[in-house]
Amino acid sequence: MTGVRPQPRLGQSGCTAPTPREPVRITVVRVDSENKLGEYLRARRALVRPQDVGLPDDGPRRVPGLRRDEVALLAGVSTDYYIRLEQGRERHPSDQVLRSIAGALRLDDDAAVHLFRLGLPVFGGRAAAAPTAAPELVRLMDGMPDVPAFLVGAAQDILGANAMARELYGGFARYDNLLRMIFLDPYAKSFYGDWDAASRLAVSNLRASSSQFPADERIERVVGELTLRSPSFSNLWARYEVRPRTREKKHFVHPRVGELRLHFETFAVTSAPGQHLSVYSAEPGSASDDGLVLLRRLAEQAATAAEDAGEATALEKGEIRS
């Protein structure tokens, strides 16, 4: 189907919306079939080498990773049962079977949780993602003038940001969705010190969100657009890696500040399902700490310039008397 891609709404006060643009019409592609469990199992066994699980390496294979019978052997189930599970002919695996398969495929905790969400539909519930930023969160971000802080939704839309965050990401044509920025804006390749790592983490984080909100239309739209427009995204999405963000080391190259090596911490907003407050900080006394001081000055200058421009426009319209 086709539709106008909705723009995320940002909070008021210091958290302003991106520059308005003409609506973009896109085709939404459902890249996942009804057999999501089977897709996940196929993708994950392709990532496991025989030698990783103590099996003999018999040379090049027609397809990468483990064979179905090898997964069945490691999980302690029959090959016929595992094949039916991958093909979608078996829809009700037990908790024990899923645990055994998670062990066979060497899934970490996050990937195993995703497996259980697919295999046991009632696992984790079906809460709806919150689409907008609460005013209290907007005030919280505005009250952190020394560090970049921003709020993202389940589909990685920027729902709100303080002045420091807007200045940090100011080189992007649009500050609206982290995935679109990484994969569709050429500036991303120079902004991220390690674009490959940043893109992989971003996609695995979106996978985690899609696991928590499997019927979220906004996530489907983002995946559909990026699948059509970015081969790099499509390749990473097909790997089916699942890893929600919590904390990371970030390396940015800002055009006016230079290199920034920051600590990234994200906090789940329990009152708004799917939303995360993200904050960057620097090691005290480091060059990046000095860089954040400069970034704040630039943000303050940008705010002053915006206020002056607003007053000039108001004077021209006769709304303010000189």
Identify the CATH assignment for 130-305 out of 3.30.450.180, 3.40.718.10, 1.10.10.410, 3.30.70.590. Answer: 3.30.450.180
Question: Given this model, what pLDDT does residue 91 score?
Answer: 85
pTM of the predicted model over 0.85:
no
Distance in angstroms (rounded) separating the CA atoms of residues 178 and 239: 19
Q: 265 exposed, middle or buried (CB, 10 Å; 0-12, 13-18, 19+)?
A: middle
Q: How would you write 26-42 as a 3-class SS string?
A: EECCCCCCCCHHHHHHH
- Give 310's Cβ-side CA count (13 Å radius): 6
The string of pLDDT tens digits covering residues 249-278 is 999 999 999 999 999 999 999 899 999 999
Question: Given this model, what pLDDT does residue 5 score?
Answer: 40
Distance in angstroms (rounded) separating the CA atoms of residues 217 and 96: 32
Q: Which segments in the chain show pLDDT lower than 50?
A: 1-13, 16-32
Question: Given this model, what pLDDT does residue 264 score?
Answer: 96
What are the DSSP calls for 266-299, one per residue?
EEE-TTSTT-EEEEEE--TTSHHHHHHHHHHHHH
The residue ranges of every structural domain in the chain are 36-119, 130-305
Return the amino acid letter for 151: L
Whether 130-305 and 36-119 are alike in CATH topology: the answer is: no
Smallest Cα–Cα separation from 129: which of 49, 214, 56?
A: 214
Q: Is 18 helix (H, G, I), strand (E, B) or coil?
A: coil
Q: Is 198 helix (H, G, I), strand (E, B) or coil?
A: helix
Question: Given this model, what pLDDT does residue 319 score?
Answer: 62
Question: Given this model, what pLDDT does residue 315 score?
Answer: 64
Q: How far is CA 306 from CA 168, 300, 312, in A?
A: 17, 10, 10
36-119: which CATH topology? Answer: 434 Repressor (Amino-terminal Domain) (1.10.260)
